[in-house]
C-alpha cells in the first residue's frame, strides 16, 4: 500500500512540476506589457522660427507651426508671456476646426522684449478628439544679449548665488546646522 501511495505522490509531483514549467515558458513567449509612466502627451507638435532679429523695445516676430498627428475636431492654442516681454497683438487664443492627421496651422506672434536676458513664451495647445480634450504645453525662449555676456553678469553675487564658468554651475548659499 505504501508503495502505491509513494508512486501516486511522485506522479502527482511530476505532473505539477510539468504544468508549472509549461506556464513559465508560455509567459516568456508573450510580448512584454509596455508600461507608460506619466501622462501621455497629446498628438501635437510645435516648430518655431524667429522671423527677424531684434533689440530691446523692438518688435520680434515668431512663426509657430503646429502639426497634429491624428484627426481632431478642433485645435485650441493660447499663449502668455513672462513680464520681460510685451504682447503686440491683442489676440492670445486661437481655434482651428476639423484638422486631419498631419495637417498644419501657423500663427505669427509679435512681442516686444523689454528686458535683456532670457524671456519665455508659454504656449498651451489642446486637441479635441471625440469630445475629449488632450493638451500639451510648450515653451519658446527669447534671448537678448550674448550668452557669454549673460553668464558673465551672473558672476555678480545675487543673494549669495554665484556662477562658476569652469563647471557651468550656479552655486547657491547653504547654511550649516548643528542639529
Alpha-carbon distances, residue 149 vs 55, 87, 145, 164 (angstroms): 15, 26, 7, 14
Return the pLDDT at 112: 93
Return the pLDDT at 55: 84
Q: Tell me, what CATH number does 59's domain have?
A: 2.60.40.10
- Whether 131 is in a domain gets the answer yes
- Whether 105 is in a domain gets the answer yes
- Whether 120 is in a domain gets the answer yes
CA dist 141 and 35 (Å) reads: 32
- Whether 109 is in a domain gets the answer yes
Return the pLDDT at 127: 93
φ/ψ region of 52 (left if φ > 0, alpha if ψ in -120 to 50, else beta) reads beta
Please list the rounded mean pLDDT of every run of 10 residues in the chain (179 residues). Answer: 70 63 50 54 90 89 94 93 90 92 94 90 90 89 67 50 65 60
Return the pLDDT at 90: 85
Specify the number of domains making up the chain: 1
Return the pLDDT at 144: 82
- Whether 71 is in a domain gets the answer yes
User: Is this prediction's pTM over 0.85?
Assistant: no
Domain limits for position 65 = 44-166
| Cβ neighbours for 48, distance < 8 A, ≥ 6 positions apart | 62, 63, 64, 65, 140
- Whether 19 is in a domain gets the answer no
Return the pLDDT at 3: 77
Return the pLDDT at 155: 47
Amino acid at each position: 500500500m505504501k508503495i502505491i501511495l509513494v508512486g501516486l505522490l511522485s506522479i502527482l509531483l511530476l505532473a505539477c512540476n510539468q504544468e508549472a514549467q509549461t506556464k513559465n515558458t508560455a509567459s516568456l513567449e508573450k510580448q512584454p506589457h509596455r508600461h507608460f509612466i506619466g501622462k501621455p502627451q497629446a498628438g501635437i507638435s510645435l516648430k518655431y522660427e524667429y522671423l527677424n532679429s531684434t533689440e530691446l523695445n523692438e518688435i520680434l516676430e515668431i512663426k509657430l507651426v503646429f502639426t497634429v498627428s491624428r484627426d481632431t475636431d478642433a485645435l485650441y492654442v493660447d499663449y502668455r508671456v513672462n513680464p520681460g516681454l510685451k504682447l503686440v497683438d491683442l489676440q492670445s487664443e486661437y481655434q482651428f476646426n476639423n484638422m486631419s492627421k498631419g495637417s498644419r496651422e501657423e500663427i505669427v506672434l509679435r512681442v516686444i522684449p523689454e528686458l535683456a536676458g532670457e524671456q519665455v513664451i508659454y504656449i498651451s495647445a489642446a486637441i479635441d478628439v471625440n469630445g475629449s480634450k488632450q493638451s500639451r504645453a510648450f515653451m519658446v525662449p527669447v534671448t537678448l544679449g550674448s550668452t557669454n555676456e549673460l553668464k558673465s553678469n551672473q558672476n555678480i553675487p545675487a543673494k549669495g548665488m554665484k556662477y562658476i564658468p569652469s563647471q557651468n554651475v550656479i552655486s547657491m548659499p547653504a547654511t550649516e546646522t548643528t542639529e
